[in-house]
Amino acid sequence: MIRSRSRKAQPSGFNSRLAEMSARMESARNASVVRRPVFDRALEVVAYEIVIGSDPITAIAVAENATDGNRRLVVNSGIDVDLAISADKPAQLTVSSSILESGIPAVLDPGAAVLILGSGIEPSERTIAALENLRARGFRILLDDLTANPQLHQLLRLAHGVKINVEKVSAPTVAKQIAVLKTAGVELIADGIASYDELRDATRLGFTHFQGSFLSRPDGFRKTRTPAGKLAALELISMLQDPDANISDIANVIRRDVNLSYRILKVVNSAHYALPLPLGSIEEAVMLVGTRQIVSWAGMMSMSGLNNKPGELTRTAMVRARSCERLAESLGRPDVQRFYIVGLFSVIEALLDVPARQALGSLPLNPEIVDAIASGGGIMGETLRGVVEYEAGNWDRAHIIGVKDQTLSDAFHLAILETDKAWAQING
């Protein structure tokens, strides 16, 4: 006799909490926007793929923010996308057939928007005609996932490039696709690159552009011994985060690095600030632009000079740092500087190509910071995990206790804009 299992009674309020969590996760998917860098063979960022939830863009409008004058995209169910998120690089957008057939609003700049055609595209006569028109107007067109949608082969003559997710497609299939695509004269973009070894393999196969999580991973091919000079630069960054440091303290720390001092004074004395007379001391520079800005510049300059890693890794670190700092502020934490350091040094394995605990153990850091970075421990570790999951587009896992999803989204996007502005200033 088969007995039916009786359902265990759920505790009071369980269903309402479940519904609340489900609504929260759905809200996060609908409101989440991240950017994924596209690298060339020199590992320079040539574009950003703008990922908006999991669906292609089915509706689009362009608005101008009355406050800052920035142009924004309003897509699908009212998701607001600040076009500044692409940092003056072309923004790659996955679009639907209906968007293609609408002709794309004329207000979009063909030089700034790249159209990605994915598995949901049907190459109807109207779609093909729309693509021919859009290409003639100067839009670049990419095909994504030919394996999932073989019909995309019909659009190959109109495409400038083809994306292949090497994580999802077998090696023999990738090799066959490349052999066909090379005769079509299109760019080959390898997506899903998870390590530097995979990056080198993809380069040998003939790919010219790359996407994936490899940037935040250590390169096992490189030497694992970290020179003392590199640790000294990181020690300098950690010292700059002292919440009790005054202008004189910060200036003294910066002066320990002659190159850093020179670069900071060069930025402050640039045309951007239009000073009547050039500044001659770090103290004057700190007083002019503020300790927070100077510390941000110093962090970016110091990290970007380490190990010849791509500049995007430093930008990733700064975005995480500012996101963690803002989230700590939203939680009312008195130790926001520690959260900043956790985000900043979260890339230390990829930066130095050594295990995190090995690198962090050589720095004057609080054990809680080390544990948060290396093991995800404590509220700082949880905050970092939420930021990293959001960065990766893992909406369902990007939750932090005590933090609203919208707060996380806002913190991340503001961190991107602030980092991009600082990056432009120090590299302008």
Give the residue among 421, 238, 272 at the shortest CA–CA distance from 343.
238
* C-alpha to C-alpha distance for 143 and 94, rounded to whole angstroms: 10
Q: Name the 3-class secondary structure at 116.
A: strand
Give the residue among 132, 126, 80, 66 at the shortest CA–CA distance from 101.
126
Lowest-pLDDT range, 335-349, 356-370, 386-400, 401-415?
356-370
Please give the pLDDT value at position 416: 95
Residue 17, pLDDT > 50, answer no
**Higher pLDDT, residue 412 or 107:** 412
* C-alpha to C-alpha distance for 168 and 152, rounded to whole angstroms: 17
Q: Which residues pair with 402 in a beta bridge?
A: none
Residue 215, pLDDT > 90, answer yes
pLDDT in tens, 257-297: 888 888 888 888 886 777 777 888 888 888 888 888 888 88
Q: Which residues pair with 117 in a beta bridge?
A: 95, 143
DSSP 317-378: HHHHHHHHHHHHHHTT-S-HHHHHHHHHGGGHHHHHSS-HHHHHTTS---HHHHHHHHH--H
* Domain assignment present for 3: no
Whether 165 and 281 map to the same domain: the answer is: no
Model confidence at 316, pLDDT cuts 50, 70, 90, reads: very high
Please give the pLDDT value at position 281: 87
CATH number, domain of 65, equals: 3.20.20.450
* C-alpha to C-alpha distance for 231 and 399, rounded to whole angstroms: 33
Give the residue among 303, 382, 380 at the shortest CA–CA distance from 347.
303
Whether 238 and 211 map to the same domain: the answer is: no
- Among 216, 247, 279, residue at a domain's last position: 216
> What mean pLDDT do residues 395-405 have?
92
Burial of 392 by CB count in 10 Å (0-12 exposed, 13-18 middle, 19+ buried)? middle
CATH number, domain of 233, equals: 1.10.3210.10
Please give the pLDDT value at position 147: 84
Please give the pLDDT value at position 7: 37
Please give the pLDDT value at position 81: 83
Strands 140-144 and 60-64: unpaired
- Among 216, 243, 268, residue at a domain's last position: 216
Strands 71-75 and 79-82: antiparallel
Q: List C-alpha distances in Å: 154 to 127, 147, 298, 419.
A: 11, 13, 51, 41
> What mean pLDDT do residues 196-214 have?
95
Lowest-pLDDT range, 225-229, 297-301, 332-336, 361-365?
225-229
Model confidence at 48, pLDDT cuts 50, 70, 90, reads: very high
What share of the chain in percent tops pLDDT 70?
87
Please give the pLDDT value at position 13: 52
Whether 182 and 56 map to the same domain: the answer is: yes
Whether 174 and 320 map to the same domain: the answer is: no
**Higher pLDDT, residue 243 or 249:** 249
**Higher pLDDT, residue 116 or 237:** 116
Residue 160, pLDDT > 50, answer yes
Whether 389 and 251 map to the same domain: the answer is: yes
Lowest-pLDDT range, 66-75, 154-163, 317-326?
66-75
Residue 6, pLDDT > 60, answer no
Please give the pLDDT value at position 236: 77
Residue 45, pLDDT > 70, answer yes
The rounded mean pLDDT for the chain is 84
* C-alpha to C-alpha distance for 135 and 117, rounded to whole angstroms: 13
Domain range for residue 261? 228-427
Whether 237 and 184 map to the same domain: the answer is: no
Phi/psi of residue 398, each to 5°? -90, 65
> What mean pLDDT do residues 216-224 have?
76
- Among 192, 216, 240, residue at a domain's last position: 216
Lowest-pLDDT range, 200-204, 227-231, 275-279, 304-308?
227-231
**Higher pLDDT, residue 35 or 425:** 35
Q: How many domains does the chain have?
A: 2
